[in-house]
Every structure is written in structure tokens, then in C-alpha cells.
């Protein structure tokens, strides 16, 4: 079986990445979401094992000690990490994996060279629009909004390290663009848009 591809997707908090990825994954077959581990508390509506694996800091540090993470980083004061074994299981099943991580984690994956990946950066149209979206959540304190905007300015400096830059302005257009990138990457790997390998079908 052909191993699945890894798509590393990064975006500033509030850029609309979660909504975008959910819509794209509902549209394109053969995609699976990598569920990261984190020490932060669940937000309203989030479920353990679906949105994140919510674990204690002691558990997280033990996983680091055992070398179980493909990457891990501190983001907004919380620990986040990606299980190497989980990624391997998904890819070996022939599924393309969406890895939703920040620019720190993406840089670690890029430098490690353990896995070939396509790196995609999702950007808001502007920092002013990002601030509007963050305030629209109604869940962020002024201090947290300021922190997220400061981090966004820093993260936007890393866009040139990504193969693709997608501006999330009009949602439907952005869904089409991100879907097209995934389908094009599958074609480069000699696979159908569905993700199935083409194999020898064109010569038979």
C-alpha cells in the first residue's frame, strides 16, 4: 500500500484554520486529522481524543523523555506535541494526514527530515481583520488578544518557509484553493484526486 502524505498546516490563532480544515476534510476523501497532545484545558465543545489529547504536564514531560513526539513546542504558555507513532499508523494505512501545528512545530518537522511533508501557511487578510475575529469570539481577554496578535506578527515572518501561502479572506474561495493544493500534491505523487494510487492503470 502507498503511504499517505503529510500536510503541515500553520496559521496564527484566529485565522480561521479550524473551520477551514473541517470543511476541506468533509469535501476531500482520504484525509485524516492528526490529534495533538496538549497540556491546556479544553475549550467549550472540545472533546478529548477528537480535538486534542488533553494530558497533564507530567504526562507530557514523560512522553518527551521517552522520545514519543515528532515535534513539541510551547505555545501561549501551554505544551503541544505530535505523536510520531500516531502519524506513522495513519500514513501506513494509506491516509493523508493533516498536521495542524504552529510555526515552531513546523520548523522542527522541516529540520528533522524524518518525514517528507507539504507545508501550508494560512494567513488572515490583515492583522486588523485578525483582531476583529479574535474579539468576535467573545472568549478572549484583552491580555490574551494582545498576546495572540503579537504572536501573529512573529508567525507571519515565517511565511517564506512554506511552499504554499493561503489568504483566508472569502471562506468558500479559500476552501477551493486549499482543496486544489491537496489534489495537486496527490497528482504529483501519481495518485487520483481521491488519494488512491494510479499504479499501472495507464499502461494496461
Q: To which H or E segment does residue 82 belong? A: strand 78-83
Specify the 3-state DSSP secondary structure of 21: helix
Domain hosting residue 27, numbered range? 6-193
pLDDT per residue as tens, the chain (204 positions): 678 999 999 999 889 898 999 999 999 999 999 999 999 999 888 999 988 999 999 999 999 999 999 999 888 789 999 999 999 999 998 899 999 988 988 998 998 877 889 999 999 999 999 888 888 877 778 888 898 899 899 999 999 999 999 999 999 999 999 999 999 999 998 898 989 888 755 555
Does residue 174 belong to any structural domain of this protein?
yes
The pLDDT of residue 39: 97
Quickly list H helices, the chain.
17-27, 57-65, 84-92, 103-112, 127-137, 142-155, 171-188
* Whole-prediction pTM: 0.85
CATH code at position 89: 3.40.50.300
Q: In what order do the strands lie in the sheet with 31-33?
A: 31-33, 96-100, 6-10, 117-123, 164-167
Tell me the C-alpha distance between 188 and 138, whole Å: 42
Domain assignment present for residue 161? The answer is yes
Residue 203: the pLDDT is 54
Q: What pairing do the DSSP bridges indicate for beta strands 164-167 and 37-38?
A: unpaired
Report if residue 106 sits inside a domain: yes
The predicted pLDDT at position 1 comes to 61
Evaluate whether residue 103 is within a structural domain.
Answer: yes
| pLDDT score, position 53 | 96
Domains in the chain: how many in total?
1
What lies within 8 Å, CB to CB, of 77 at 6+ separation is none
Amino acid at each position: 500500500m502507498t503511504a499517505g502524505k503529510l500536510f503541515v498546516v500553520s496559521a496564527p490563532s484566529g485565522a480561521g484554520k479550524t473551520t477551514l480544515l473541517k470543511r476541506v476534510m468533509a469535501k476531500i476523501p482520504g484525509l485524516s486529522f492528526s490529534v495533538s497532545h496538549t497540556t491546556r484545558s479544553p475549550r467549550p465543545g472540545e472533546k478529548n481524543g477528537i480535538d486534542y489529547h488533553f494530558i497533564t504536564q507530567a504526562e507530557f514531560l514523560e512522553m518527551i523523555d521517552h522520545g514519543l513526539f515528532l515535534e513539541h513546542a510551547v505555545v501561549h504558555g501551554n505544551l503541544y506535541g505530535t505523536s510520531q507513532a500516531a502519524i506513522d499508523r495513519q500514513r501506513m494505512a494509506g491516509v493523508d494526514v493533516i498536521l495542524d501545528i504552529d510555526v515552531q512545530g513546523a520548523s522542527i518537522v522541516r529540520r528533522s527530515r524524518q518525514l517528507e511533508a507539504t507545508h501550508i501557511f494560512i494567513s488572515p487578510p490583515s492583522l486588523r481583520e485578525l483582531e476583529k475575529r479574535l474579539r468576535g469570539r467573545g472568549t478572549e481577554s484583552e491580555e490574551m488578544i494582545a498576546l495572540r496578535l503579537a504572536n501573529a506578527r512573529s508567525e507571519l515572518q515565517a511565511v517564506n518557509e512554506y511552499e504554499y501561502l493561503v489568504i483566508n479572506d472569502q471562506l468558500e474561495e479559500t476552501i477551493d484553493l486549499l482543496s486544489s493544493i491537496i489534489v495537486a500534491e496527490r497528482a504529483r505523487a501519481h495518485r487520483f484526486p481521491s488519494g488512491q494510487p494510479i499504479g499501472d492503470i495507464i499502461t494496461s
